[in-house]
Amino acid sequence: MAIFPLIYSLSISFMSYRLIPPLPPRFIGLDNYIALLGQERFRAVIWTTSIIVVISVFLQYVIGFAVAMALHAKIPGEKLFRVGLLLPMLIAPVAVALIARMMFHPTIGPLNELMTVFGFPNLPFLTNKYWAMGSIITVEVWQWTPFVILLMLAGLQTLPDDVYEAATLENASPWQQFRDITFPMLLPISVAIVFIRAIESFKIMDTVFIMTGGGPGIATETLTLFAYQEGFKKFNLGYTSALSFLFLIFIIVIGVIYLAALKPYVARRI
Amino acid sequence: MSTQLRSASAHVFRYLSIFGLMFWAFFTLFPLYWVLITAFKPPLAVIGGPTYFPWIDFDPSLKAWRDIAAGIRGNFKGTVLHSTLIGITASIIATLFGSMAAYALVRFPFRVKLGSGLIFFTIAFGGYLILHEYAGLSRSNAMFIAFSTALVTSIIVNRLRLPGPVLGNDDIVFWFVSQRMFPPVVVAFALFLMFSEFGRSGFTLIDTFWGMTLCYTAFSLPIVVWLMRDFFRALPIEVEEAALIDNVPSWRIFKDIVVPMSTPGLAATFIITLAFVWNEFLFALFLTNSKWQTLPILVAGQNSQRGDEWWSVAAANLIAIIPMFVVALVLSRLMRSGLTLGAIK
């Protein structure tokens, strides 16, 4: 079940295989890969996806860490916060995207009314290139920050109290405590969380599909959406498979560089 | 800094964090509140511009819910039933097998030689290609023969002395997890082709209960293995060692000692898997069409089916969200009992 799709798509990535018109598959070696690498649109799509991943994962991590710290500081009503804050990551991306379309709606959405109060009526949240990217990143942050909160909170709970007591006796300021104790001790789990989030974010599809459909033009088209368009609008299967292997190689290369670069700071294996 | 100043700054920090939390909670919860009220708005209160409070700036109506109950917006009753059945069955099977695999990976060292892995891959891949392209076998037969030959050969080869690196348990787990890196679109399509081949040789899998359950079980396994491995690792090994000395067979150790000790972990894993299956969109899009359609497909369809009737879209969303609200409640309870601690140790 798990291996077959891999092997099957690897085999057709070296072929010219289209369902429409239904020509028999023909072996063409690396031509699919070469064609892809030379295509302007492919590079644009990689760039778009990378921007979404880098910005949204960065924001998720910073906000998630901050919220987890705040929750850890024993605040009234903490239990309620926890249930509410977990919810977005458990909602289907499809539903999240539909909610986002309601929120960002140019005439009936509440966000539009808020912006009108500040003097910016009818902003093109989903139809302007830059606004659309911003909206997609916002939705990603909304949905996945809870994941970071959940795991960072678990990490914070494993930290030993006595270190902090010692630090308080030494008159270390809260900022010093954070910089010299909390952050270094949570670095391994942080690296793992960012890694998981980045890998999952690279596959972003449902949200973009429903919110903008990749538009305007191809301004917000992500890799997975591009693969979908090639495969299921044009039924160009060989090409799509080659695309996904390039995608896989791209992710693995980035992942290996990321882990290697951070290895000196992280004592344990992930 | 004097002590007074310090406690003042601690106070400031505390208020800042409460304020920040409030802001974040508002940001998180407002869209959900919006869905909730929109589902009860009459159409006019939606189209006329944003309205915020029931009974103050609009009168709640049940129009969206009556539409759904009357079946105008698609077969909701059946779809919810499908999603529930598939979700629960797939999660039970995945948790069962996944936790066994995870336990084996934690307690018993496995040594897979890289050479035999390569042999498996070569025979499976090459054999499949040769049988399918040149011997003219159908895809499912070619695949079955190539895979079973490859499995047997690689098990035999693994016993021989081979040069090359040996892979340990961590590498096997990495292989499990790495399956999740592959873009799902292509996997979905390859699965679609595989399922339709099976359909031609007699087992209908597309748009059936077992097809969907099989697919979701396979793709939940990596998550289950990854989560359960950490729970099992956190268990004290002494009890199991004592049982081993008394010659208790290892399946009974697993059933009578390990499983009862890790019930919270199993429950959490089950719930997380259930959430994953409940929300999954892409595989369902390819592998179902009408009989076993799942909820996300129906919800996504609301957008285009009859124009932008946002009150109905909101009601459909709410149906998909409410079970997840229950899941969040249960998870946060389990979380308080220190459950997620195991996941990162």
Mutate to test the interface with A, among B185, B277, B305, B325 (most CBs of A within 10 A): B185
Contact B111, B167 (CB under 8 A): yes
Q: Looking at residue B335, what is its pLDDT?
A: 63
Q: Which residues of chain B register pLDDT less than 70? A: 1-10, 48-49, 133, 135-140, 161-166, 180-182, 303-308, 335-345
Q: Looking at residue A60, what is its pLDDT?
A: 93
Q: Looking at residue A227, what is its pLDDT?
A: 80
pLDDT at A270 over 60: no
Q: Do A171 and B299 touch (CB under 8 A)?
A: no
Q: Which residue of B has its CA nearest to A157?
A: B341
Q: Do B296 and A94 touch (CB under 8 A)?
A: yes
Both tokens of residue B255? 């059933």
Q: Which residue of B has its CA nearest to A87?
A: B328
Q: Does B334 touch chain A (CB under 8 A)?
A: no
Q: Which residue of B has its CA nearest to A106?
A: B49
Q: Does B338 touch chain A (CB under 8 A)?
A: yes
Contact B312, B68 (CB under 8 A): yes
List all residues of chain B from 70 to 99 with a beta carbon under 8 Å from chain A: none
Contact B42, B63 (CB under 8 A): yes
Q: Do A102 and B50 touch (CB under 8 A)?
A: no
HSE of A85, CA atoms in CB hemisphere, 13 A: 26
**Closest of B260, B117, B300, B282 to residue B187, by C-alpha:** B282
Q: Does B114 touch chain A (CB under 8 A)?
A: no
Q: Which residue has the higher pLDDT, A251 or A60?
A: A60
Q: Do A108 and B50 touch (CB under 8 A)?
A: yes
Q: Does B314 touch chain A (CB under 8 A)?
A: yes
Partners of B341 on chain A (C-beta within 8 Å) are 154, 157-158
Q: Do B332 and A82 touch (CB under 8 A)?
A: yes
Q: Looking at residue B343, what is its pLDDT?
A: 43
Q: How many other CB atoms sit within 10 Å of the CB of residue B267?
A: 16
Q: Looking at residue A38, what is its pLDDT?
A: 74
Confidence of residue A62 (pLDDT cuts 50, 70, 90): very high
> Tens digits of per-residue pLDDT, B288-329?
887 888 888 888 877 665 566 788 888 888 888 888 888 888
Distance CA B192, CA B283 (A): 9
pTM, full prediction: 0.80
C-alpha distances out from residue B70 to B64, B73, B291, Å: 10, 8, 19
Q: Do A158 and B17 touch (CB under 8 A)?
A: no
How far is C-alpha B38 from the chain's CA centre? Answer: 29
Q: Does B19 touch chain A (CB under 8 A)?
A: no
Q: Do B327 and A90 touch (CB under 8 A)?
A: yes
> Tens digits of per-residue pLDDT, A82-136?
777 778 888 888 888 888 888 887 777 778 777 777 777 667 777 777 888 888 9
List Cβ neighbours of B139 (8 Å cut-off, separation of 6 or more).
B132, B193, B194, B197
**How far does the CA of residue B254 sit from the closest CA of chain A (Å)?**
26
Q: Do B183 and A203 touch (CB under 8 A)?
A: yes
ω into A21 cis (within 30 of 0): yes
SS3 B166: strand
Distance CA B191, CA B284 (A): 11
% pLDDT > 90, chain A: 6
List all residues of chain B from 205 to 244 with a beta carbon under 8 Å from chain A: 214-215, 218-219, 221
**Closest of B276, B285, B324, B313 to residue B74, by C-alpha:** B313
**Closest of B224, B199, B206, B187 to residue B90, by C-alpha:** B224
Partners of A81 on chain B (C-beta within 8 Å) are 21, 25
Partners of B183 on chain A (C-beta within 8 Å) are 203, 223-224, 227, 244, 247-248
Q: Looking at residue A1, what is its pLDDT?
A: 55
Q: Which residue has the higher pLDDT, A235 or A54?
A: A54
Q: Which of B181, B189, B310 minimises the CB distance to A248?
A: B181
Q: Looking at residue A3, what is its pLDDT?
A: 64
Q: Do A6 and B328 touch (CB under 8 A)?
A: no
Distance CA A173, CA B5 (A): 11
HSE of A225, CA atoms in CB hemisphere, 13 A: 25
Note the ipTM here.
0.80
**How far does the CA of residue B31 sit from the closest CA of chain A (Å)?**
7
Q: Looking at residue A266, what is its pLDDT?
A: 63
Produce one character per residue of B212-223: b if its CB has 16 or more CB atoms within 10 Å, e if not. Answer: bbbbbbbbbbbb
C-alpha distances out from residue B285 to A69, A141, B224, Å: 40, 25, 23
Q: Do A75 and B18 touch (CB under 8 A)?
A: yes
Q: Average per-residue pLDDT in chain A?
A: 79
HSE of A193, CA atoms in CB hemisphere, 13 A: 27
Distance CA B18, CA A117 (A): 27
> Tens digits of per-residue pLDDT, A211-234?
887 777 777 888 888 887 777 777
Q: Which of A5, A102, A113 minimises the CB distance to B190?
A: A5
Q: Which residue of B has its CA nearest to A228?
A: B185
Q: Which of A86, A173, A224 minimises the CB distance to B332?
A: A86
Q: Which residue has the higher pLDDT, B8 or A256?
A: A256
Confidence of residue A58 (pLDDT cuts 50, 70, 90): very high
Q: Looking at residue B7, what is its pLDDT?
A: 65
pLDDT at A251 over 50: yes
Partners of B345 on chain A (C-beta within 8 Å) are 158
pLDDT at A57 over 90: yes
**How far does the CA of residue A223 sit from the closest CA of chain B (Å)?**
9
Both tokens of residue A244? 């996904």
Q: Do B29 and A84 touch (CB under 8 A)?
A: yes
Mutate to test the interface with B, among A1, A13, A90 (most CBs of B within 10 A): A90
Q: Looking at residue A267, what is its pLDDT?
A: 54
Q: Which of B190, B328, B331 minimises the CB distance to A8?
A: B190
Compute the residue count for chain A.
270
Q: Looking at residue A142, what is its pLDDT?
A: 92
Q: Do A150 and B335 touch (CB under 8 A)?
A: yes
Phi first, then psi, for residue A18 (nearest 5°) are -125, 145
